[in-house]
Chains A and B, each alone.
Chain A
Amino acid sequence: MNAEDGDQASRTAIGISFGNSYSSIAYTVDEKAEVIANEEGDRQIPSILSYVSGEEFQGTQAKAQIIRNPRNTIAYFRDFLGKSFKEIDPTPCHASAHPVEIDGGKSVGFTVQETEEGEKSTLSVSEVTTRHLRRLRQSASDYLGKDVVATVITIPSDFSDSQKSALTAAAKAAGLDVLQFIPEPISSLLAHDAKQQLSESSSGAPKDKTVVVADLGGTRSDISVVASRGGIYSTLATVHDYELGGSSLDQVLIEYAAKEFMKKNKNATDPKSNARSLAKLTIEAENVKKALSIGQTAAFSIESLSDGIDFSLTVNRTRFELLANKVVASFGRLIQSAVQKAGLDVLDIDTVLLAGGSSHIPKLSSSMQSIFPESTAVVAPAASASAVNPSELVSRGAAIQASLISEFEHSDIEGSTEAVVTVTPHLQKALGLASGKDGEQFSLIINADTPVPVRRTAQVSVADGGDVLLRIAEGEREIKVTKEEKPQTNGAKGEDDSDDDSDDEPEEVREKVWKAGKVLAEAGIKGVKKGGKVEIQINVNTDLSVTVVAREVGGKGGVRGELEATKA
């Protein structure tokens, strides 16, 4: 049989989401991305390695070792890759193996008892990463029954070049060829759009929209504001918070549980003061938090928490939401600051896509819904039925990208990612039609921040028929604030109404309005039928010249004109 002869070039490529807290692996079947579970059945695989009497454990098994064997357990190492010892923040590693200086402080390592007896060994972060990626690759290869050799890995949007090259090297040592690094928020958005595309079974490009992708992770949160235009993504702004994440919410539960424990057991030692008790609390708090995202109540139960006393406590969701209020509010502020950084208003945002493990929390999506206007779609499992599991978004996006480019040569990928990306001009202002009496009103055809070249078509219905003037203009978005008078309550000043008087201030109504700016061209269409429609197509070319084609729907001929390119 020589069927295999011709197909040597095709590689098995997977998507890997490599996080500080969790990693996951995904691949595509029939254009649909699937997240692969490892041999333990986990789709979210803890990024943790542990050494117990000469044996290596990873994932959930290693996580359990944080309690009994913390110093030989390595966790939260992703962000240390490619950094010097001075640059890192070792706080998350407090409960496990502490990072140490190696290479004279140029990089970071961990000292663990790797073998059953003898000297402790110091593993560099790259070595740890290699071992972790090797295991991920093994799990994917076992599942797929094919040797996985290539991958697309997601990275935070602020990963430096030295971090990227360190990750490339670590992946190579693990037998993985990195086809491309893609930013986590863009990966999530790709996965979301792909899902949307499948469910709507539309063949065209996704609608133009401005999206906030909030990647709420374990130990950090990253927010990106992305302009999605015809399925092409441009990042407008990013913000990062390296302290806010799911672990901040765990902390809230830890504090609460510890307080309750001390109340019940007056003479016991504070479980937070003992490393092992604290580790037990930390792991249980995360489990309780996850359970509260699904159910209304969850129970802490820890055997021998402190001084040999067992502990059990039931927490309901309302209680947790009250405790978590502050942290949730900080998530809200972080997201608003990103929108501000992009020079936008919350009214400009069409979609808020919540990604990352913490996005499962129902309270978070409801608080997003209250920050953004009703027109904004909040995509999270608690807020929309079609949402993809937020823990899986990142790895799914990577898998989709991996399947798209697995056939390409390295040089092709590099060529496409360098020259092409950086040189794309984006429209500064929106383009559309000016209408109304004094040409003040504006209907949008091409939104601002759209990369060129671009082509968009719009239809204008002409109820009265006759000759029509199309005025192509640039448009500007303004936020109109109107004070709305509260409707006066009819006379009767009831005694029990007195509470309402406190918020008697007129409510501010903010809305987005388009104003026509500079007129670029006028086109006349003559003799349109009554109730007919006029189709207008605007082409912005790479050199920023504009071609306009307008004609009556179903009619012949039409008007065609061209605008000269902008002079630099």
Chain B
Amino acid sequence: PSLPDGWSAEKDFKPMGSLSQPTSRAIEPVGPHFLAHARRKRHKRTFSEDERI
């Protein structure tokens, strides 16, 4: 879709809302991807921080 005329926003980004309430669920503690997730969580790292290591 093309930009409508007269559309403008600060730094070209316009926040309009936030996410709906999440559902709380348990994830299964199994598999390599979970272990990576657990490692990030325990060290409180984000994705990009994790990649840098």
Which residues of A are interface residues toward B (Cβ below 8 A)? 180, 182-183, 186-187, 190, 193, 205-206, 226, 230-236, 397, 400-401, 404-405, 415-417, 420-429, 431, 435-436, 449, 451-453, 455, 464, 466-469, 471, 474, 518-526, 539-541, 544-546, 548, 559-568
- Proximity bits, B1-28, A CB within 8 Å = 1, else 0: 1111001110111111111111111111
* Contact across chains for A522 and B14 when beta carbons are under 8 A apart: yes
* Contact across chains for A540 and B28 when beta carbons are under 8 A apart: no
In the assembled complex, how far is the CB of residue B24 from the closest CB belonging to chain A, in whole angstroms?
5
Please name 28 pairs of A and B residues whose Cβ atoms are closer than 8 Å in the assembled complex, sorted by A. A187-B30, A190-B31, A232-B31, A232-B34, A401-B31, A404-B32, A420-B38, A420-B42, A421-B26, A424-B25, A426-B23, A428-B20, A467-B2, A468-B2, A474-B20, A518-B17, A519-B17, A520-B19, A522-B9, A524-B3, A524-B8, A524-B13, A544-B19, A546-B19, A559-B12, A561-B13, A566-B21, A567-B18
Contact A416/B38 with A523-B14, A562-B15 known, Cβ cut-off 8 Å: yes
CA separation between A428 and B25, bound complex, in Å? 10
Q: Which of B13, B19, B24, B29 contacts A523 (CB 8 A)?
A: B13
Q: Please indicate the chain A residues that have their CB under 8 angstroms from the CB of B21 in the complex.
A: 428, 566, 568
Q: Using a Cβ–Cβ cut-off of 8 Å, how many residues does chain B contribute to the interface with A?
A: 39
* Contact across chains for B17 and A428 when beta carbons are under 8 A apart: no
* Contact across chains for A469 and B3 when beta carbons are under 8 A apart: yes
Q: Which of B15, B20, B31 contacts A193 (CB 8 A)?
A: B31
Q: Which of A234, A519, A560 contacts B28 (CB 8 A)?
A: A234
CA separation between A226 and B31, bound complex, in Å? 14
In the assembled complex, how far is the CB of residue B19 from the closest CB belonging to chain A, in whole angstroms?
5
In the assembled complex, how far is the CB of residue B23 from the closest CB belonging to chain A, in whole angstroms?
5
Q: Which of A206, A427, A520, A545 contacts B16 (CB 8 A)?
A: A520
* Contact across chains for A404 and B2 when beta carbons are under 8 A apart: no
CA separation between A424 and B38, bound complex, in Å? 11
Interface residue B41 (Cβ < 8 Å from any Cβ of A): yes
* Contact across chains for A539 and B1 when beta carbons are under 8 A apart: no
Contact A205/B20 with A424-B27, A525-B12, A561-B13 known, Cβ cut-off 8 Å: no
In the assembled complex, how far is the CB of residue A101 from the closest CB belonging to chain B, in whole angstroms?
35
In the assembled complex, how far is the CB of residue B37 from the closest CB belonging to chain A, in whole angstroms?
6
* Contact across chains for A404 and B25 when beta carbons are under 8 A apart: no
Which residues of B are interface residues toward A (Cβ below 8 A)? 1-4, 7-9, 11-35, 37-38, 40-42, 46-47
Contact A564/B26 with A231-B32, A467-B2, A468-B1 known, Cβ cut-off 8 Å: no
Q: Which of B11, B24, B30, B46 has the largest count of A CB atoms less than 10 A from its CB?
A: B30
Supplied contacts A234-B27, A524-B9, 6 more A-B pairs, CB within 8 Å: A186-B30, A193-B31, A235-B28, A426-B24, A449-B25, A519-B16
CA separation between A468 and B34, bound complex, in Å? 37
CA separation between A193 and B33, bound complex, in Å? 11
* Contact across chains for A548 and B12 when beta carbons are under 8 A apart: no
Q: Please indicate the chain A residues that have their CB under 8 angstroms from the CB of B38 in the complex.
A: 416, 420
CA separation between A226 and B27, bound complex, in Å? 10
* Contact across chains for A464 and B32 when beta carbons are under 8 A apart: no
* Contact across chains for A233 and B27 when beta carbons are under 8 A apart: yes
CA separation between A242 and B18, bound complex, in Å? 44
CA separation between A188 and B15, bound complex, in Å? 42
* Contact across chains for B15 and A564 when beta carbons are under 8 A apart: yes
Q: Which of B3, B8, B18 contacts A468 (CB 8 A)?
A: B3
Q: Please indicate the chain B residues that have their CB under 8 angstroms from the CB of A183 in the complex.
A: 28, 30
In the assembled complex, how far is the CB of residue A297 from the closest CB belonging to chain B, in whole angstroms?
41
Q: Which of B20, B23, B29, B31 contacts A518 (CB 8 A)?
A: B20
* Contact across chains for A420 and B29 when beta carbons are under 8 A apart: yes
CA separation between A452 and B23, bound complex, in Å? 11
In the assembled complex, how far is the CB of residue B17 from the closest CB belonging to chain A, in whole angstroms?
5
* Contact across chains for A233 and B34 when beta carbons are under 8 A apart: yes
In the assembled complex, how far is the CB of residue B40 from the closest CB belonging to chain A, in whole angstroms?
8
Contact A422/B26 with A467-B3, A471-B1, A526-B3 known, Cβ cut-off 8 Å: yes
Q: Please indicate the chain A residues that have their CB under 8 angstroms from the CB of B42 in the complex.
A: 415-416, 420
* Contact across chains for B15 and A190 when beta carbons are under 8 A apart: no
In the assembled complex, how far is the CB of residue A502 from the closest CB belonging to chain B, in whole angstroms?
46
* Contact across chains for B2 and A464 when beta carbons are under 8 A apart: yes
* Contact across chains for B15 and A233 when beta carbons are under 8 A apart: no
Contact A544/B30 with A520-B17, A521-B16 known, Cβ cut-off 8 Å: no
In the assembled complex, how far is the CB of residue A207 from the closest CB belonging to chain B, in whole angstroms?
12
* Contact across chains for A524 and B12 when beta carbons are under 8 A apart: yes
Q: Please indicate the chain B residues that have their CB under 8 angstroms from the CB of A236 in the complex.
A: 25
Q: Which of A182, A451, A539, A561 contacts B30 (CB 8 A)?
A: A182
Q: Please indicate the chain B residues that have their CB under 8 angstroms from the CB of A397 in the complex.
A: 30
